[in-house]
Amino acid sequence: MAYVIHPREARPYSFLHPAMGEAKTHPTVTAFLHLDTEQIIHRYRKEHKEVQPEALWKILTYRPKHFRWAGGDLFAGVAATGQREMVVVEVNSVPTGPKYMPHGGTGMDSSYHKLMGETFLDTVSSKCDPSLRNMPLAVLHDKQNTHRQQIEPIAYATALADITKEPVYLVETFVDQPKEHSIRWTDGIMEVRDVEDRWHAVRAALRYVTQKPWTRIPLTTKTVVFNHIASDLSGGRNKLLAAMAYDDFNKQQGGTGLHIRTPRTFLRVTKAQIPTAVQALGGKAVIKVPYSNCGQGVYTVTSQKELDKLMALDLNYEKFIVQALVGHKNWSSSQWHHACTLPDEEGREYVFDTRLMVHSTPDGFRPLCIFSRRAHLPLPDTLDGTEDSWEYLGTNLSIKDTIGAWQSDTERLLSVDNEPFEALGLSVENLVDGFVQTVMATTAIDKMCCRLVRPDNSFDFEEFAVLADDRKILEEIYDLSDTSDETSVVN
């Protein structure tokens, strides 16, 4: 259903996760967030002298057409030379983050307000169908009905209402709901149903929908959908096409010194081929289901036992990606090993990743928020083949409780608050490196998206079918499609 969020009357603004308490932003993070584009280029080239400044300026000021808001997940890796480098794990097209990022007391400088005011409204003004300009705005989400799960959707809707001074619809849309339960599509226009069963056409919507959004939102719409659903299929929710996009980007940037860092990757691996790919990586690898999220569909393999367990699962799709595993320096199968947190009082070091959320503004890409997550158990320096490697390699905070609802394991959250951030050992240069890696990866996915979205805004299913090479994903997205080209691909 759609619930109305009204503009506020100078109420204090928070919408932080309760785990944040009275958190304050670490001075290193504050210093990074205040860097302008020229300063970022200067800091980056101090560590990467081979990079052409003009090429980096072009990337940081690139105006994406479809993928304008992203969250990069990065490992702090150590190369064979001993140099610390931020390595791209994946890029998310509907990223969580602001609830873990402290902001000012009024909240008007929050990440929520920055995204809605500087990016969402800019997108709407440039893409809105003139016939819909008097229609309301909406925020769609598929977060379960708990306060902590719905913090961010409510916050985005509230921020949007604040900025526009108009009511905003907050709409629940779940993957297992009947069709037209809360939204429907009429000639490409999104309509939302309110609590009194009345339908309202919407001119634009922020999409905070993470579970197979292509099953509820068409790929061609008159209502502006932010981010465009095609950005999911082009890499924001598709690890396979993301890997292809990174390869394309790196080839295009040859000679500039710019390069997206990812572990060695095998693409379009069938389930039967997984053991061979794992063997080629020395028996230690990461297997990823391309279209999963929230840490699901990602499997770390460090032993035959774990490989056998994986092969016994129904992995839902037909093609997968297999990557070298970033592990301990004694047994990593990647060109990097984990930098890990600083040793605690008992000498334990933990794998962590850092989420760096970015958005495109009229002045170029800017960082929105930062937080980190650590694994449950410390990283062992040797393996005996009996461990559950996800316990010391997996960092995602999403877990299911005893009744199957999604929750966040915030005991492993490492926010940018002073003490948690100190444990990461990250410098301003590391954050600049992570920002540049995230922007390059986001740009690569947007370029892939431009490849798949035709000039008339229709989706090129034939090209996607060739790249994805997986009938199951085509069947999922076909249900909302109605063109002859799409029918010929699926049938």
Reported as a single tens digit per residue, the pLDDT across 417-471 is 989 999 999 999 999 999 999 999 999 999 999 999 999 989 999 999 999 888 8
Q: Predicted confidence band at 396 (pLDDT cuts at 50, 70, 90)? A: confident
Q: Are residues 466 and 386 both part of a single domain? A: no
Q: Are residues 209 and 251 both part of a single domain? A: no
Give the residue with greater pLDDT, 77 vs 16: 77
Structural domain harbouring 12 = 1-34+95-226
Position 400 in a domain: yes
Q: Give dist(CA 402, CA 399) in Å, integer.
A: 10
pLDDT surpasses 50 at 222:
yes
Q: How crowded is the C-beta side of 477, counted as CA atoms within 13 Å?
A: 25
Residue 36 Cα distances to 112, 354, 358, angstroms: 20, 21, 14
| Residue among 132, 119, 97 at smallest CA distance from 20 | 97
pLDDT surpasses 60 at 373:
yes
Q: Are residues 159 and 257 both part of a single domain? A: no
Residue 182 Cα distances to 142, 220, 301, 376, 468, angstroms: 11, 19, 41, 38, 30
Q: Both tokens of residue 304?
A: 């035959």
The total number of residues shown for the chain amounts to 491
- pLDDT of 490 reads 34
Q: Give dist(CA 363, CA 423) in Å, integer.
A: 33
pLDDT surpasses 60 at 246:
yes
Position 393 in a domain: yes
Position 294 in a domain: yes
**What average pLDDT does this structure show over 38-44?**
97
Which residues have C-beta within 8 Å of that of residue 468, sequence separation ≥ 6? Answer: 233, 238, 240, 241, 290, 319, 474
Q: What long-range pairs does 24-27 form, CB within 8 A, spacing at least 24?
A: 24/102, 24/417, 24/418, 25/101, 25/102, 25/416, 25/417, 26/416, 26/417, 26/418, 26/421, 26/422
Q: Strands 189-193 and 2-5: what pairing?
A: unpaired
Of 15-19, 119-123, 130-134, 147-151, the poorest mean pLDDT is in 147-151
Q: Predicted confidence band at 483 (pLDDT cuts at 50, 70, 90)? A: very low
Position 491 in a domain: yes
Q: Predicted confidence band at 409 (pLDDT cuts at 50, 70, 90)? A: confident
Domain boundary among 226, 255, 281: 226
Provide, rounded to the nearest whole percent, the portion of the chain with pLDDT above 90. 77
Q: Are residues 7 and 149 both part of a single domain? A: yes
Domain boundary among 174, 193, 226: 226
Q: Both tokens of residue 187?
A: 């000639």
- CA dihedral (356, 68, 134, 483) in degrees, to 10, reads -130
pLDDT surpasses 90 at 307:
yes
Q: Are residues 272 and 168 both part of a single domain? A: no
- pLDDT of 223 reads 97
CB 33 within 8 A of CB 40: no
Provide the β-strand partners of residue 303. Answer: none
| Residue among 45, 47, 64 at smallest CA distance from 55 | 45
Q: Strands 168-172 and 137-141: what pairing?
A: parallel
Q: Are residues 341 and 485 both part of a single domain? A: no
Q: Are residues 366 and 314 both part of a single domain? A: yes
Q: Predicted confidence band at 12 (pLDDT cuts at 50, 70, 90)? A: low
Position 221 in a domain: yes
Position 433 in a domain: yes
- pLDDT of 19 reads 85
Q: Are residues 323 and 441 both part of a single domain? A: yes
Q: Both tokens of residue 33?
A: 């967030």
Q: Are residues 410 and 285 both part of a single domain? A: yes
Position 16 in a domain: yes
pLDDT in tens, 139-168: 999 987 655 678 999 999 999 999 999 999
**Domains of the chain: total:** 3
Mean pLDDT over the full length of the chain: 90
Q: Both tokens of residue 292?
A: 């999963």
Position 329 in a domain: yes
pLDDT in tens, 52-80: 999 999 999 999 999 999 999 999 999 99
Give the residue with greater pLDDT, 13 vs 151: 151
Q: Give dist(CA 33, CA 102) in Å, integer.
A: 13
- pLDDT of 487 reads 34
Of 117-121, 150-154, 269-273, the poorest mean pLDDT is in 150-154
pLDDT surpasses 60 at 477:
yes
Q: Both tokens of residue 429?
A: 């240069």
Q: Are residues 405 and 487 both part of a single domain? A: no
- Give yes or no for a cis peptide into 238 (omega within 30° of 0): no
Which residues have C-beta within 8 Å of that of residue 451, sequence separation ≥ 6? Answer: 234, 460, 463
Domain boundary among 165, 194, 226: 226
pTM of the model: 0.93
- pLDDT of 328 reads 97
Provide, rounded to the nearest whole percent, the portion of the chain with pLDDT above 70. 92
Q: Are residues 307 and 441 both part of a single domain? A: yes
Q: Are residues 101 and 183 both part of a single domain? A: yes
Give the residue with greater pLDDT, 8 vs 38: 38
